[in-house]
Structure 1
């Protein structure tokens, strides 16, 4: 049987139809990127109100909604070391209307939890590293030690007796305490809470003796005399508390931990939307009034590119994986 060839005009019509279909398929992403945002944006917060993420997210969200012309609504999803909020984001539609502000715990959880309901590296689109924040080792009124040297001596005299509270299992403060135990050769008992606000309450009542927490939530109580600052955990002293020594200066070298906060979107979010978000975050972080607001609470604004944030998160996952393995920390 002779083959039947498609007429030239038929081939052209078929090709034109295919191109039209492809353009129609590609249109929604491009169109959404051009018109975004057309409605309110939801910003998930992995911890309860009153914590360091909340203190940062509120003023940043207020500035962003001025720039974007749409409300940026904070949605608190605390629990499971931040994994509940992260799971919600991973399952959200990748349209730029659901975001999350994660903490360093987001990278820690990748190795601390035996199984997560998402892939930390693949299920999220980095937007911007918003800010860094020094952490502080603080003592409660029930702690006898007045400095790090005395603290170590007290802990060695009664292993497991001293308690330190954190904002939750897998939180940066949790791992900071485990690392401090390992480096100092002591053993303290970890007590997890649901957010920094609960930790502060427990500290003030003497329920726990110590905490490794963000300087934004702890410093006000240090300045009022209700808590005692023993050291900051970074490599240099904090600008808002220059009188507080680093752990290295206090006699415990080898520990350098700084909290960080970043905005992520679901994987698959259109790149133009990601780029617009990143640019707007960097823009608001340069505004003098917001910079002054954040500096009061110890935040150090960054405003990175998406690519720089991806590199940062990958490095943090690798770093904390080693800390978790070496310290033996695990979720019970």
Structure 2
């Protein structure tokens, strides 16, 4: 009885499968599935290509662009010096921002309420005041503190230095740019650390792992996947933000270009030179950011991009084998 009932069930399943297969449309005949035609996509793409191509053609053929002047000043010594100064400012300011952001972010996540309050107040002030004001503040710091000294309370002075000699134009630019960006980096660090599942922290602490080792081995490697993209964007933004150092007289890339066209009155060709080098630098930083993101997302990419298709392939293979064996 059981065998007969099992046979009947098997036959019913086979007939149902055959009926279902017969009801499906054939893909090799007149009933083939026709993909949906997205006419709007092609029309919008053609319109964008037409407008963009027309604009580029006007730029390339316009006599007012004076491409000969652009080519002549592309590697001019003054432009190269300004570009090198822009790169130095970007690297130094972002290094200071990363260190400052790490310190402020750690203080913000500390269990000490005093450190939390100091970090919050610092971030509030740096993000709440304009960058130009902060640059000017550091540049004119000597008017507030003519001498910077370290002395023992009620005792002798260990050393004293003139503020103008200690914080020059370059130093004021780094302090203004780096500390301002450090306030934003603190929030990036805090968001990245908080994105890690708290259960992992509790599990590590339950086996006696120290706070420092927990951060180095578990928290930071996972948080870097969320920290790297906004940090890369901040670095690219910093490269372009360095142009504000014109206010304190530093000859960066844009300032060098402005000094040149102030003499020959070729504003547009010289601005094209500045745009070219900014695009070169931002492209290099973008490539570096992509490589870092791939490095820190290897586990996630392997899990989502490799294991899932392989699992589907194995399931299909096992189902095909079962069908061939009549199971």
TM-score (norm 1): 0.24
Higher helix share goes to which structure?
A: 2
After TM superposition, the score normalised by the length of structure 2 is 0.24
More RCO (CA 8 Å, sep 6+) = 1
More strand by share: 1
